[in-house]
Amino acid sequence: MPEPQLTLHFDGGAITLKLVAGAARELETRLNDLASQWQPGPRRSLPVFEYRYTGEVFLELFCNPNLWPSPFAAKVLLAVRDDRLRLSQELMLPQLLTDLEVYLQSVLP
């Protein structure tokens, strides 16, 4: 049986990569924490989100929550690279969370 891989969807395509379940769980937790920072009412300055993972590929995610009115509108900048590939793309935060949830359901009991 092939090893599950994380597929991240974005406008116009998707990328599939290997990510260990523990790193995916940590990323999901951190992204949920990011999404929970948006509060109704007066805007306050929020810390920038950054995440880096080094495995078979280098994965980097960045989001400035101060640019977006809600987590439903927020975009996350994705950078994936290895010795043969370099990809930079914007992902919608809700889609990224959905992709992580689907992946984690496939790898965790």
The reported pLDDT for the residue numbered 27 is 96
**Tens digits of residue pLDDT in 38-62:** 887 777 899 999 999 998 899 999 9
What's the chain's length in residues?
A: 109
Whole-structure pTM value: 0.91
- Looking up tokens 């993972």 gives 53
**CA-based R_g, the chain, Å:** 14
1 confidence band (pLDDT: 50, 70, 90): low
Beta strands, E only, the chain: 6-10, 13-17, 49-54, 58-63, 75-81, 86-92
**Rounded mean pLDDT, 90-109:** 93
On whether the 6-38+45-107 domain is CATH 1.25.40, my answer is no
